[in-house]
Amino acid sequence: MQRTILVVDPDGSLQRVLEGTSIPTGWRLTVLRSTDSGELRPALAESEVLVVKTAPVSRADLEAAPRLRLIQKFGRRTENIDLDAARERRVRVETMPLEHGVWVAEQAIMLLLALTKKLLPGHLGVIAGENPGRIEPFRTSQTHSTYNWTGLGGRGTLFRRTLGIVGLGEIGTEVARRAKAFDMEILYYNPPALRLRAEAEQELAVTYQPLEQLLLRSDYVTLHIPHTGETEALFGEHQFALMKPGAYFINCSRGGVVDERALCCALATRQIAGAGLDVFEFEPLPRDSELLRLENVVLTPHNAGGPLETIAGEGRELIERIAHSLATCNR
């Protein structure tokens, strides 16, 4: 019996994930880039499985899908799916964690820690032999050692500090899960239409805030938003002026969502304490970039998402999960 799988993929990200992935014999997989109901619902009427990432799945969509048995969400957040309607129609909804999102979340936390603990200045001070007290080396023991012999100052802690996540989607959620382990207060901003359900906010221990309030309250601000026409240079002079003077800024999303000149000005004048950046307006980062002349930054070469093999692995896992769910649906 032929399996009909519909992939609704408005931004093309699922198609990239599935490139090169082997599709089981007997499956007919269709990729639809449009979410227009005139195109979507005729395709839904024939489909047994629906695969989505960010595309909305409404009650009306489900009513147009009499053969639908499974919705496979690429990711863990289900705000885009009408779960009540799916439950009423006995349509199974399955989720999957995104490994590349975990990689990005780990990098964001790494940048938070590197900035807070002054990792690079500490490392460079040891390498350079900094020893302002001119202490002679001696063999250490549990009770006898030389603490902070380079005299490194300005370090802090994540403990009980406030983290503001701009964009609490798949990656932002993974950041929140990890920040929670540091006992951080976690604020988040999404466009109002994408605010989490109350039970999801409670599960993640996050509090919704309008963007300006989030910036005013946060000790750390981390971006996890797509680069679109609406988010182009979303962070500029006004947003950095709202942040606390001791706050740190992290960007592991896309360089174009930040006005890089405004960021460099905020960093150079110490309007904010520092920045950890994995993405830039131009990549590779030009050798004349002002960011390279600043001391209060940690820069990485847009590699937070892990090796390219990670994405290919997600494609295989997606197909395997669908196959497993269909097999168990038949029992």
Give the CATH number, domain containing residue 68: 3.40.50.720
CB 248 within 8 A of CB 276: yes
The bridge status of strand 3-8 relative to strand 185-189 is unpaired
Q: What is the pLDDT of residues 51-74, one digit of tens each?
A: 999 999 999 999 999 999 999 999
Residues 79 and 114 in one domain: no
Residues 75 and 219 in one domain: no
Residue 59 in any domain: the answer is yes
Type of residue found at 64: A
Residues 121 and 65 in one domain: no
CB 105 within 8 A of CB 171: yes
Token pair in block for residue 222: 């981390």
Structural domain of 20: 3-95+309-329
Residues 65 and 174 in one domain: no
Q: What is the pLDDT of residues 194-209, one digit of tens each?
A: 899 999 999 999 999 9
pTM of the entire predicted model: 0.91
Please say whether the dihedral angle defined by the alpha carbons of residues 163, 166, 168 and 171, taken in this order, is positive or negative.
negative
Residues 195 and 88 in one domain: no
Residues 105 and 89 in one domain: no
Residue ranges, the chain, pLDDT below 70: 1, 330-331
Give catalytic residue positions.
254, 283, 302
Residue 145 in any domain: the answer is no
Residue 196 in any domain: the answer is yes
Residues 190 and 259 in one domain: yes
Residues 6+ apart with CB under 8 A from 70: 48, 49, 50, 91, 92, 93, 94, 322, 325, 326, 329
CB 48 within 8 A of CB 3: yes
Residue 239 in any domain: the answer is yes
Residue 143 in any domain: the answer is no
Residues 278 and 320 in one domain: no
At 51 the pLDDT is 98
Residue recorded with tokens 């690429």: 74
Residues 82 and 113 in one domain: no
C-alpha distances (whole Å) from 85 to each of 40, 57, 75, 213, 330 are 17, 10, 20, 35, 21
At 316 the pLDDT is 93
Residues 86 and 117 in one domain: no
Residues 218 and 321 in one domain: no
Phi/psi for 285 (5° steps) reads -60, 125
Residue 142 in any domain: the answer is no
Counted domains in the chain = 2
Displacement of CA 137 from its chain's centroid (Å) = 44
Residues 208 and 276 in one domain: yes
Type of residue found at 122: G
